[in-house]
Structure 1
């Protein structure tokens, strides 16, 4: 996939100077695949320009297949040295998703279990250090043929979709994201003055409270693109039912028409129109039967579903909730190896109530909050 070098330079400048705000002497760890080489070259140049240090870990085509065919549980449990050190010590981290194949078969269950257990300490460190910005991180996408095919777009359409969502089509993307920050700050300031919330549409009615929790302004620094406001609800406060009409993707498998019934914070029953097995297996994993996130998407430049949660959870006119791991920076306490976002459409009659007042209707915040 050929991409305009000028766009990639703008992308790299945004990632290094805005998303992780790299400073002289700071260390930046970048994790991606060899498909993203044009963007990675631009990131390296930007890191040098600001006086930082940049190191890479790059996956190659065929690694996942080789591990499935030849790997042992001991090998699956090996934690890469540079990645472990970076999560513990570095100041900045950029994950560039650039997959070769989105339809890789799953590794054997024993390999998955060994890897999950071995990576847990690093996983916990990552969440702790990103919570207080000791590790400044961002996640982004480099357009690849596999991603375009998954989204049902041509490669050129998909690249345009990605770059527009990141505001790279604008003269000054950083200024555009600063404007998003300002607008969303009015929203989170109001939400943080409230403690009781309710999401309602024609198939959902779910409530939660946020005492001691914080709504966060996701303004493009921790994800690119962004455009959402989110929190971690009090773990035992969620009650009601919610239907997710967008497909939920987990480990490359699609689950459609998910309905969850919740009492006192615990998911009591679950059903899917398709993909029930994936739900059943997920809810066997510790921590997954409680919610780690409640959020509202605000990026109206993301105008279609792409099967990539980094984009889909931000779709303007939707809400999402995630089962599993909470956000420590929001005050969340639920722990899990899973954080799985599920999305509900709110454009046709949806309402969000805060302390009994409508603050969001038909896919948009009310005018006094969204100006």
Structure 2
């Protein structure tokens, strides 16, 4: 098998488990043609149907420079049909450039408003897996440069994080599923949680909510356990020491102060304007997710949230949209993950008991 054949086999047969007669929609760019070709081949071998949309170099810039509000508000026909009706969806991030200027605020607002209904459908259909989805990466020069690596180094990093360097990646992810399930079972027996480190002390409750075992079937790579906290329960202060990236813009040193579930104050060491803009959007001042990263093969920060939120030894919380499959009720056009390091003195408490210390679950939950 070539690397991309192995990758495609994992995406089609494990991540979305495509069955005969099911329809798969693939969204990416022309840079990802080697992987898209193999995904198409695997979909046909599985007895499914595969359609795709590939963005071109310069496409986003043309829309930004010449598009009207009506054009920003246009909902792509095939994408809409796929989100509403198809059984499977794979989104392969493969950017040409990560440093394009941002569209005008009114144009971004037009896009958010137009896509909100489809956004809600996406979350509803992925929650109960009527739409099986996988988000993944095709290594490109832009992503490698953002991560501070050569393209070959970045490709190796991606394949290692996805366990594609192992003889049987599917078996490796089934092993992740089994190990994380023991953690999830315990978390779901508790209802009060607290994250602490030298700059954070934040708590939340999960009554009526579910912790979920993220085992590679909805994101590739994965390696996390997550929930949606009770929206009015979050209390305290949390500092995110990893940079938070939103629409290609970087915010550093974010501190959020929370009372009765609502973010009361927000500060950034740099990028304050981005925080201010985000917290003006409906639903962003409550949390949609609380999670713990468990993928210790992701050994460095890459400035891509698909990888960074999974870093073993970290926790993250997301402002905005909740996960319906976890029982969350917060609604927003935004779901923005922010990451805190827990390796040096970090603790997670469940019902008052330390279950995680210095970046690791305790031995009885995560045997060495």
The TM-score by the shorter chain falls in which range? Answer: over 0.9
1:75-129 Cα deviation digits (max 9, x unpaired)? 1111011000000000000000000000011111221111111111110100000
Structure 2 residue aligned with 1:159:
155
What is the TM-score of this pair, normalised by structure 1?
A: 0.98
Alignment of 1:233-244 (within 5 A): 233-244=229-240
Structure 2 residue aligned with 1:336:
332
Structure 1 residue aligned with 2:42:
46
Alignment of 1:273-312 (within 5 A): 273-312=269-308
> 1:346: Cα distance to partner?
0.2
Structure 2 residue aligned with 1:219:
215
Give ranges in structure 1 of 5+ residues lacking alignment. none
> Alignment partner of 1:222: what SS?
coil
Structure 2 residue aligned with 1:86:
82
> Alignment partner of 1:316: what SS?
coil
> 1:202: Cα distance to partner?
0.5
> Alignment partner of 1:342: what SS?
strand
Structure 1 residue aligned with 2:137:
141
Moved over 2 A (4+): none
Structure 1 residue aligned with 2:365:
369
> 1:70: Cα distance to partner?
1.3
1:207-244 Cα deviation digits (max 9, x unpaired)? 00000000000000000000000000000000000000
1:174-199 Cα deviation digits (max 9, x unpaired)? 00000000000000000000000000
Q: Does 2:96 correspond to 1:100?
A: yes
CA distance in 2, matches of 1:251, 1:161: 23
Alignment of 1:119-198 (within 5 A): 119-198=115-194
> Alignment partner of 2:2: what SS?
helix
Q: Does 2:250 correspond to 1:262?
A: no
Q: Does 2:25 correspond to 1:24?
A: no
CA distance in 1, matches of 2:58, 2:143: 17
CA distance in 1, matches of 2:50, 2:196: 46
Structure 2 residue aligned with 1:58:
54
> Alignment partner of 1:214: what SS?
coil
> Alignment partner of 2:124: what SS?
helix
1:136-178 Cα deviation digits (max 9, x unpaired)? 0000000000000000000100000000000000000000000
What is the TM-score of this pair, normalised by structure 2?
A: 0.99
CA distance in 2, matches of 1:112, 1:151: 26
1:249-285 Cα deviation digits (max 9, x unpaired)? 0011110000000000000001011111100110000
CA RMSD of the aligned region, Å?
A: 0.6
How many pairs were matched up?
367
Q: Say which is worse superposed, 202-211 or 105-114, in terms of deviation.
A: 105-114
1:324-351 Cα deviation digits (max 9, x unpaired)? 0000000000000000000000000100
> Alignment partner of 2:134: what SS?
strand
CA distance in 1, matches of 2:241, 2:342: 10
CA distance in 2, matches of 1:116, 1:262: 26
Which of 107, 111, 123 aligns to 1:111? It is 107
